[in-house]
Every structure is written in C-alpha cells, then in structure tokens.
Amino acid sequence: MPTFATWQELYKSDLQGAVAVTIVPLLFLLYLIWTERPAGAGVVPAAARFVHVWAGTFAVLTIVDPLATGPLLRVLGIADQPSATAVMIAFVLLGDFRVYLLVFTLMTFAGTRHDARVADPVYAARDALRLVPPRAALAAALATLIVPVVAVTIDRALRANDPSLPGQVIWLVYELAFLVAAIVLREVIVPARVPAAEPWLRNYLRAVLAYVAVYYALWATADIVILAGHDVGWALRMIPNQLYYAFWVPFAYGRFFARR
C-alpha cells in the first residue's frame, strides 16, 4: 500500500487522479448498459432519449479524461510536452461543454407540450433522428469558449503587473469565472427562458447549475488555500474532483429521471 508524505503528493498520484475518480463513472456506465431507460419518464419526457445518450457519452469521457491526461501521457512519453497541455485543455473544455449542452438543449423544450410530444409518433421519430437542436449545440459550443477567453485575458493582465505569479493563478481565475457563469445561468438565463408554469424543468436546471457552482467554488477555495502555502488545500481539492468526475453525470441523470 503506497504511503504519501503530503496531501499534494497524494493528490498528484494515480490513486487519486486516475483510480478514485473513475470507479463511480464505470459503475454508472454499467448501470446504463444493463438498465432500460423508462419510457415517457423524466422531468421532460420528450427529452428522455437525449438525456440517456448524453449521460452515456459523458460517462465514457469522464473515464477517459483522467486516464488520458495522466497515465497515458506518461506511457507515451509526452507528459512534459506542449501536446500534453493541449490534451488537458481539450478535456477541460469538454467538461464544461457537457454542462452547457445539457442546459441549452433542455431549455429548447421550454414552452412545449412535453407529454403530447412523447405520445405523437411524428415527434418521437424526429427526436430520435435529432437528439440535439442545432441552435442548442451551437450555443453550448460558443458558451464553452467564454470562460477560457476571460480567464486567459485576466491572467495575462495580472502577469503583466506581476510576472512572478505562480501558474496556479490561471486555474483560480478560470474557476471563479465559471462560478460566475453558473450563477448567471441559474439566476438569470434559466428563469428568463423557462416559464414559471414549468417548475419541474426550471427547478431541475437550477439544481444542476447549483451543483456545478458548488464544485467550482470548492476548487477556487482549495486553490486559494494552496496559493497561501497550505498543503491541506490539496486535500480539499479532492472533493470537487469527485463531484466533477465521479458524481456529476450520475447526479444529472438521476435527478432528471427522479420525476416519472
């Protein structure tokens, strides 16, 4: 059994970075494979197929992410190369894209007769052929770029004033920027796009965005503690890692199908 002298050493190990965060997604993926999706179920029954496919897709990516950005890069001998940074950034963007894709796609169902759509074979055939409306996919892709652009811009401005800033600063800026984005989505955009007459959809979207805000707030708090020179910040960082990798997709899926 390996032993670790510091929390940082444990955090940077494969035990935390590749094993602990993939157990739950793997079990969840097996659950999706062996469990039949309830017909006509969910917060928005017409979107049940989309959520089922979304959950399976991002459960796989959640497993691939820590393996590809950790052990695989070392096996390939490129862990210290610029290409490794590009791979890591790509998975960070995919992790944010999955949030936007879920939220923006489900918002397109606001104001429609959900139950009627499920019963109508024409709507069922259309939804099977086109799980994601193009405008929702485009909105999700564009929204995914906002926080990185903001974070890089602020980080460069900070480094122009103080070039000695540690590299962790850009992640803190990123986390705070996405925290703001999640709050704006939850408190402004969702209430504006989803009528109060559809409380189940509105409450669901606000719940999943609150979940996102929590793990970004915890990451930011952990990085502040780390930048202050306290090793315990690495222990704190393991909590949002679990929320992000292990439990986010199962939470979003389970919460969606909790109402049948």
Is residue 3 a part of any domain in this protein?
no
Is residue 251 a part of any domain in this protein?
yes
Place of tokens 């070392």: 74
Label residue 112 by pLDDT band (50, 70, 90): low
CATH assignment at residue 171: 1.20.1070
Q: Is the dihedral of CA 170, 172, 175, 178 positive or negative?
A: negative
pLDDT for position 130? 53
Taking residues 14-33, report their average pLDDT.
93
Residue 96 near residue 144 (C-beta atoms within 8 A): yes
CA distance 139 to 105: 9
The type of residue at 85 is T
Domain count of the chain?
Answer: 1
The type of residue at 113 is R
- For the chain, percent of residues with pLDDT exceeding 70: 88
Contacts of 214 (CB under 8 A, 6+ apart): 240, 243
Q: Quote the domain boundaries for residue 198.
A: 12-255
Alpha carbon of 45 to those of 41, 75, 121, 134, 137: distances in Å?
5, 44, 14, 20, 20
pLDDT for position 143? 97
Least confident of 44-53, 112-121, 150-159, 250-259: 112-121
pLDDT for position 126? 41
List, for residues 230-247, the tens digit of each pLDDT value. Answer: 999 999 999 999 999 999
Least confident of 114-118, 194-198, 202-206, 216-220: 114-118
Is residue 230 a part of any domain in this protein?
yes
> Residue 135 corresponds to which tokens in the numbers above?
């405008």
Place of tokens 């306290």: 230
Is residue 6 a part of any domain in this protein?
no
Question: Is 161's pLDDT higher than 80?
Answer: yes
Label residue 119 by pLDDT band (50, 70, 90): very low
CA distance 137 to 237: 31
Is residue 2 a part of any domain in this protein?
no
Cβ neighbour number for residue 247 with a 10 Å cutoff:
18
Question: Is 42's pLDDT higher than 70?
Answer: yes
Residue 170 near residue 152 (C-beta atoms within 8 A): yes
Is residue 260 a part of any domain in this protein?
no
Question: Is 260's pLDDT higher than 60?
Answer: no
Question: Is 129's pLDDT higher than 70?
Answer: no
Is residue 50 a part of any domain in this protein?
yes
Q: Estimate the crossing angle of helix 134-161 against helix 82-107, to 10 degrees.
A: 130
Is residue 7 a part of any domain in this protein?
no
Question: Is 162's pLDDT higher than 50?
Answer: yes
> Residue 10 corresponds to which tokens in the numbers above?
């444990």
